[in-house]
Structure 1
Amino acid sequence: MRAPSYRAGYRRTTLGPLAFRVRLRPLVICLALAGAMLAGALWALMHGSLHIPTGAAIAALTGGEANREVLHIIMEVRLPRVLMAMLIGAMLGLAGAAMQTLTRNGLADPGLIGVKEGASIGVLLVLFGAPGLSLGWRPVAGLAGGLSAALLVCALARDLSGLRFVLVGIGLSWLLSAVLLIFLTTADINDVETALLWLAGSLHNAAWPMLPVAALWGALGALTLAATARQADAALLGDAAASGLGVRLKGLNGLRLASSALMTAAAVSCVGSLGFVGLMAPHMARLMVGGGQGALLTGSALCGGFLVLAADTFGRLAFAPLQIPAGIVMAVFGVPVFLLLLWHRRDRL
């Protein structure tokens, strides 16, 4: 007779002295998603104002023989943009999955608690107040603004999983949006043009110096969410059951909220506001991957990376030489998805 874990889809795998169980279906789907994202990245590297053949693109990436123009376009222009799109999408997907689990609301988004607006205000203060500072200061200012907004919501709501938390977050988001409009209406017109392009969620300024900064904060948030995944699964059973299993809910909720706010603020600081990624990616992961928090987080990161990469590539190529920011493309496709989710949840709202 087969063991219950085998019937549930788990398989025992050994790697030297280590032994662990994996579920084959989520693993295969995640590997397929990763392969699709890598294929999309290669396609994005090849296409643009100058079409680069597959062989030349691979040669440039692997250090093979490539002419100087192709090498410059691949390594200095397109590759940082593609890597930034996948990294930012993964961060927003992880943040969205954590926020939806935390609030137990499938319509939750990382921008729910004003983190995006707070991070935007922090970056605009640097852009308008100290334009001579290097790009490395933008994530610092954005993280300060985003985390300050998250802490303010927590202090006012006093409960991280109730309806009051959501309502306070929405109210603060609108307040900070008004502050953003005040910045834009009182600033110099030249600064406003730069700020509006950045706020639209454009990756055209993606460069190598920004990638390690985004990767650092993304890795910190992802590791925290992965380390607390099993406790988050237990928390979904209810507060009483989770406490009986030894889960410290306040500490768990605080860690996951901080990780979500951290990754969202870092993403906004690097490329501006990208809406609907954190909303759509977890739902795509649940539909395709399923499983517990570990599978959900992995699937959400892959789906988020693919979404932003596809949005940026579409905006870059569809109306060339005009480039549409990825944030606008995500809004065009994200609003119908949001309305569809509202329709499916109409009896629970």
Structure 2
Amino acid sequence: MPKTLIFVFCSAVVMAGAFAANRSLPIVEQNTPAPVASLSEFGVGALGRIEPQSEVIHVNAPSVMEPPVVEKIMVRVCDQVHAGQVLAILDSNRREQADVDLAKASVLLAEKSLAQIKAGAKTGDLRAQEELIARTRERLKLAEKQLERAKELRKNRAVSEDDLDTRVADVDVLRRELAQHESALVALAEVRVVDLEKAEAEVARARATVQRAEADLEISMIRSPIDGEILKIHTRVGERIGSEGVLDLGDTRQMDVVAEVHESDILKVALGQPATISMRNLNTTLHGRVIEVGRLIGRKDVLSSDPVDDTDARIVEVRIRLDDKDGRRVSGLSWAKVEVTIETSKSHSSSTDMSDASNPAGAQGLSQ
């Protein structure tokens, strides 16, 4: 019992001493810390990728039932090409070239036939017909003379009536022959409209065949759609063209950054806003300005290495035009992943407000 009383007494003494010590300490005024600006106050952050101004173009062959085989590649990676330049030749090229040559030969044949019809009959045929007419006329003159003599002799009854009739029949036959030969000569020298139209139609058909053959030949050659640089070749000689196409091409003279801005931040972004682009792997910083704000909401294409990052976030693509100097520095880094900060109008005002809050004396001096 005495031990219990001693323990209670000691506890009471300790508590009283602690209370007295607490009352003797000065009260320290607690100041509320200044608010720290969030990332959105400094600008809109996003992941992005570097790509040419023209974007990366996947050059492919025309759609056919069976993928064609590449017979020849005319370029190499890093080559500068111009629009219309042949990049690759397919295995159907030789066959299509032969069809073009055959069609052109058919055109020449049809044109010669047309020229012949326009010129009429050959000179030799006309001359032979004229000689035949001349001989027939001579025979007709002789027959007419014999008929006149027969008529005189018939008056004196020197010839029979049958002989006279024979002479008359000979003259009639020769006159009909002469008329036929003269008509044939006119037909030979005359160009018939129907024959001319038929020949012209043959020429037109032959030329159309050439155009179709040339179109098929053009399909067997893959040409560059733009002026640009060869970025990658997917299909080699002897291989069939796959889903990736023959090669990738882009105009690297001007490089852009495509930032994937979260849909909740897109209303803060406007054309002309400055942007800072960081490439951590290369310890490089680039600069540019917003030139295009997308009109569609999609899903992320550039994924973060953060395991807790929202990979299914809905984003809007914002295109940033790099400064000329920075664009030249990264012209060979298409599709490189970057971190983008777009300086919005709110970020400028937030920076100013924070500087004023951190220096109240200066703010008062300015107000005075």
What's the TM-score bracket when you normalise by the shorter of the two chains?
under 0.3
Question: Which of the pair has the greater relative contact order for Cα pairs under 8 Å at 6+ separation?
Answer: 2
Which structure's CA Rg is the greater one? 2
Higher share of residues assigned strand: 2
Q: TM-score, normalised by structure 1?
A: 0.21
Q: TM-score, normalised by structure 2?
A: 0.20
